């Protein structure tokens, strides 16, 4: 799973002339889902994203997460995050999850995010959307579950 995260002063998603989601201060989270992704990757990346200390504190130092900054999250599905452009001129999307699998995990990710303290808005899965954002900083980060060190589980042995 891949997340492209932007710290924004505002962001919105429109379909045609209708705005379907909008946030002010917060995170624009573009989410790409790979064929072998599951809930463990979603939980891990959601935790990582919501705890990133990328908002300024009273001294201007990036020291607050989205909740501490009073921000919201706008989550948008984007299968093109798994576009492979190594060969030829047309991207290959072979690693991206098929729509049915991706929708289930996208819905799971949103539901899990909504259980957190930050307000959550979202795009419309598989819709042709116009995403507008004002990147604050600019701050843009890439999180990839394959490239991040996941916490090790402690094994306890019974006596």
Q: Which residues are part of the catalytic machinery?
A: 78-80
H/E stretch holding 107: helix 99-114
* Packing angle of the helix pair 99-114, 39-51 (nearest 10 deg): 40
* CA–CA gap between residue 108 and residue 119 (Å, rounded): 16
* CA–CA gap between residue 124 and residue 63 (Å, rounded): 32
Sign of CA dihedral 41, 42, 46, 49: positive
* CA–CA gap between residue 79 and residue 32 (Å, rounded): 5
């Amino acid at each position: 799973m891949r997340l492209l995260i932007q710290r924004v002063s505002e962001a919105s998603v429109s379909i045609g002339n209708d705005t379907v989601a909008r946030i002010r201060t917060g995170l624009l989270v573009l989410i790409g889902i790979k064929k072998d992704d599951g809930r463990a990757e979603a939980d891990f990346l959601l935790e990582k994203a919501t705890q990133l200390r990328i908002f300024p504190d009273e001294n201007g130092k990036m020291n607050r997460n989205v909740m501490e900054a009073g921000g919201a999250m706008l989550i948008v599905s984007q299968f093109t995050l798994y576009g492979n452009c190594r060969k030829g001129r047309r991207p290959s999307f072979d690693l991206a999850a098929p729509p049915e699998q991706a929708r289930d995990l996208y819905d799971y990710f949103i539901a899990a995010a909504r259980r957190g303290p930050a307000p959550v808005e979202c795009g419309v899965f598989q819709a042709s959307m116009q995403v507008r954002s004002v990147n604050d900083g600019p701050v843009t980060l890439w999180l990839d579950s394959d490239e991040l060190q996941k916490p090790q589980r402690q094994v306890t042995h019974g006596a």
